[in-house]
Chains A and B, each alone.
Chain A
């Protein structure tokens, strides 16, 4: 007897334990096998780009905090870089160093959540993410010292940063930088060669080099596919050309490589932090800039290597106090377009592991 079967549709999300926010996947399943998947965006759309066009350049900084809320410092940095490029504003030396320190701390904090959430999606019962939150907590404490906030920092300013660091910041940062490599080793001991993790992630969700370039993926997703592309190296912004660090890449482009690239990037960030703390000069942290910046008419694109990939802000000025056009190149959104190619043919469980390994933030994708 031949049993007649037919595929059925499951809505994974928008309210689901592991969709990292409010992402929805309309999955067509044949039993456990995924036949097709249709991503549905927009549940977290707040119209940030339009809101920004109604505000002055300085007022936009808190809005950028709300894009990728797991990497607010990076968003701040990318935006102020774009405005400074547009208006031709110089930044004091000390502020540049502080910006690099904050951006690298933010990268570690974001990767900790990214890796932890990926392992959670692989079915680990909260343990890895809670260990990583333990270390992220120390970074959040550091951020709280400098700007009083733990999630939406609003720390960078056009022409510098909002305030200088307090006295207790540097000793605490040094302590963190010294202890962090030990913690990364601890995670590796637990997970790097875990047989179940290898079975779940090695060879799963392969994104080939060509595909990754074609969809203009960036960040760890692109580097795991073997492309050595890091904005900090290929188009050094701020003062990144002064630090020595490697760009870790993967070879297979599978979930495991994406996880490894993130862990190695944390090590490299610690290396940058070490150098930045040593070289940190004294002096001003903010150049004299009016609160009502009025850049000359024109356009500028400022981009950085954010934890999730190339984060860019495209600004068009009509010589008024608000941007004429404000556009965000969100790495989460572009990396997410690779999802369908990666998941078709895998099982339901793999869909969420692959989705977790892309490490997206819906605040940024839906804006």
Chain B
């Protein structure tokens, strides 16, 4: 296959989206999108860092960074320069190779998630027919990097953070996957592009419970409040990256925001109809929705305290998992029995089911206590 051989001509698949003179060659397409994704992820992560600090500032009755550049937009740049000039410390008794490798292992999978995300119709690196499965599989590799960091630091706080990381991230994979299955059942496809195309009305309306479960489980996956146990600064200092400094720390910091970006993008794609929307260009709609989801995540972070480690686990296994199973069952029945029913009737039915289930669970499922006799 020559370099310019139209092995994969996406502009033929998606006429009207990609420009007609779009180079058909597989490798050119690959190269162009790798550049686009890298630029998108790094720029958005920097934008998110700035936006989060400004928004949290607003939530906390203060201004947030406003010195570097207009409205402090260059603050992430200043931070990056600062972090790059820091001394890079490796603990003397740490496992040096693992310590060095950990940030890379944590960072690469997050970047790989964006390969299957459609920025608009057909504008994606690879339209995998198992796209969402790929996302779930790849993003769970990050936990290995986190555990490597905690293990190799030779620090007790880091080890506690790593222990929490493994138990929490592995547990929340299950409700996360099950809540996605509801969407997959509705769309009838695992490809992210087809899932967006299948959303004549956004799936958040048809899958309100699935959306909430996904948001909760994703918040746990990306260590956001109230599940930010891995780096609970008031308990275990900074968790798994306590010992990291300089560029390695910056990579972990970047991973955190790239993960938030990944979750925002996946939520937008699965539940908020991706690039679809009236009037505005599709890419703009996509970005608006991503920023909207991100704002909700920041809002939660600025509002609630943190759960304890056993409560986090109980929440995954006793609350999210049964609810996700029930949600999947109901969705399956609805798709089987009323494939032709007006969507609006199902919207209200599902909303009612969600309210009833959540009220029922909040009545019987109580967190609290937890003392162990020693």
Contacts and interface: CB of A to CB of B under 8 A. Distances in A.
A125 to B, nearest CB: 6
B368 A198 contact: yes
Given A123-B305, A127-B303, A348-B160, A18 B234 contact: yes
Contact of B304 (A8, A124, A344): A124
Given A18-B234, A199-B368, A348-B235, A131 B61 contact: yes
Nearest to A356: B234
Given A35-B374, A125-B225, A349 B305 contact: no
A200 interface: yes
A123 B160 contact: no
B234 A127 contact: no
Given A196-B226, A199-B368, A123 B234 contact: yes
Contacts of B185: none
A interface majority secondary structure: mixed
B59 interface: yes
Interface in A108-149: 119-127, 130-131, 134
A32 B234 contact: no
Interface string B116-140: 0000000000000000000000000
B156 A8 contact: yes
A20 B236 CA distance: 15
Interface stretch (B143-151, B200-208, B260-268, B308-316): B308-316
A197 B60 CA distance: 18
Contacts of A345: 371-374
A352 interface: yes
B276 interface: no
B368 A119 contact: no
A203 interface: yes
Interface string B53-68: 0001001111000000
A10 B307 contact: no
Interface string B276-319: 00000000000000000000000001111111111100000000
Given A127-B60, A127-B302, A121 B234 contact: yes
Contact of A16 (B62, B229, B237, B311): B237
Contacts of A346: 370-372
Contacts of A244: none
B233 interface: yes
A344 B374 CA distance: 7
Interface residues of A, number: 43
Contacts of B366: 199
A47 interface: no
A307 B189 CA distance: 62
Interface in A312-367: 344-350, 352
B77 interface: no
B369 interface: yes
Nearest to B233: A17
Given A120-B234, A348-B236, A130 B61 contact: yes
Contacts of A197: 305
B59 A196 contact: no
Interface residues of B, number: 41
A123 B163 contact: no
A228 interface: no
Q: Which of B235, B301, B304, B310 has the most CB of A within 10 A?
A: B235
A349 B368 contact: no
Given A123-B226, A200-B308, A349-B309, A17 B302 contact: no
Given A31-B163, A33-B372, A349 B306 contact: yes
Given A125-B301, A197-B305, A347 B233 contact: no
A33 B310 CA distance: 10
Nearest to A134: B61
A194 interface: yes
Nearest to B157: A10
B232 interface: yes
A131 B306 contact: no
Contacts of A203: 368-369
Contact of A199 (B56, B303, B307): B307
Given A125-B56, A204-B371, 14 more contacts: A31-B163, A35-B374, A120-B234, A123-B232, A124-B305, A127-B303, A130-B60, A130-B62, A131-B60, A194-B305, A195-B362, A199-B308, A200-B308, A350-B370
27 contacts: A10-B157, A17-B233, A29-B160, A34-B374, A119-B305, A120-B234, A121-B234, A122-B305, A123-B305, A124-B225, A125-B301, A127-B303, A131-B60, A198-B368, A199-B311, A199-B366, A200-B306, A203-B369, A204-B368, A204-B369, A345-B372, A345-B374, A346-B371, A348-B160, A348-B235, A349-B232, A349-B309
4 closest A-B pairs by beta carbon, nearest first, are A123-B306, A199-B367, A130-B60, A122-B305
